[in-house]
Amino acid sequence: MDWQIAGILAQDGVTSGAVYALLALALVLVFSVTRVIFIPQGEFVAFGALTLAAIQTGGAPQLTWLVMVLGLLAFAMDSAATWRMAGLRRGWRPYATNVAVNLALPILLHLVSRSLPLADLPQAAQAALAMLIVIPMGPMIYRIAYQRLSEATTLVLLIVSVAVHVLLTGIGLLVFGAEGSRTAAFTDAAFEVAGLRITGQSLSVVTISVLLILCLYLYFGRTLSGKALRATAVNRLGARIVGIGTNQAGKLAFTLAAAIGALSGVLIGPITTIFYDSGFLIGLKGFVGAIVGGLVSYPAAAAGAVLVGLLESYSSFWASAFKEVVVFTLIIPVLLWRSLTGKHVEEEH
């Protein structure tokens, strides 16, 4: 291996690692706020990329049907819960918000995606529309599958996550089919630096990922809702005592996770062919990065994800048939080390 090949592999590793870092941050966010190991995070990646591919070919994205069904279920559950708690004593405002979020928004996205000339839209508008279609699935899935189990053990929540993953994978096959898709590149530009060719696509992915990580840092450090999420992550019981709604925090965490997943799909779509079940493997690599960070530290999770990307890239050169084995073997010494050195505490009830 000469230095040029090493540079190319490093570029590929950093590009993939930047996407894995976003997914690792989303997994840490969801786990720290809700204690859910969100295995279906990868499905948002696949759905985002495949929805964008459908839009770029001019076809109406069929995922809007799923969003409307999930919205209807979430609307029914929220309406029933509001009626049991307060009836009409709180007025019509909770019901109006429920209608707007769970019914009106999915229907509007469905109508817009079938009335616009999608293939003729600018690429940024196509990506934005694909993300808008996928993002509402986050809080809807939380409301349907997780909210009533917010006090359950981590093991129960993990089992539910596995079930949600299997269900979404099957729905992905039904909606998108077995054919893989690849989206158009953001740019065809390329630069020569010390004899190494750096593509504009890789620079775009890394730049967008870094900017999003910076935005998340500012959000958690400077905004009231971000501080509320941090408080919920530190102590759920204490957050409830001071008036922070843990259900609202859970919905917000899942919304951010869905947004990060959809954006990751948009970023990775031009790099590799995405199938309906590709998200699981991509999300699992983000999960390895999150485990390296201990599922609590955002910077450590991001660094671990970049390490996973570099390890995957160099493994594909030295032992391409075993690159996945090499990547996932990384989790074993990390877990052993954390098990031997970490403090074991009882789960909060």
Which pLDDT belongs to residue 349?
A: 46
CB-CB contact of 284 with 168 (8 Å): no
What is the Rg, in whole angstroms, of the alpha carbon atoms belonging to the chain?
Answer: 21
This prediction's pTM:
0.87
Which pLDDT belongs to residue 151?
A: 81
Which pLDDT belongs to residue 232?
A: 78
Angle formed by the axes of helices 3-34 and 298-318, to 10°? 140
Whole-number Å distance between alpha carbons of 56 and 58:
5
Whole-number Å distance between alpha carbons of 140 and 137:
5
Structural tokens at position 144: 């349907």
Residue 149, exposed/middle/buried by CB under 10 A (0-12, 13-18, 19+)? Answer: middle
Mean pLDDT per 10-residue run, the chain (349 residues)?
Answer: 76 86 86 87 93 89 93 91 71 78 92 89 92 94 90 89 94 90 82 75 85 84 81 75 80 92 90 88 85 71 83 81 78 78 56
Structural tokens at position 147: 């909210």
Which pLDDT belongs to residue 131?
A: 94
Whole-number Å distance between alpha carbons of 349 and 343:
18
Angle formed by the axes of helices 3-34 and 246-268, to 10°? 160
**Closest to 27 in 3D by CA, of 276, 211, 292, 330:** 292
Which pLDDT belongs to residue 259?
A: 94
Which pLDDT belongs to residue 260?
A: 92
Q: Where along the chain do its domains lie? A: 40-279
Residues 6+ apart with CB under 8 A from 19: 205, 209, 264, 267, 268, 282, 286, 309
Owner of token pair 């459908």: 54
Angle formed by the axes of helices 278-292 and 331-341, to 10°? 40
CB-CB contact of 13 with 310 (8 Å): yes
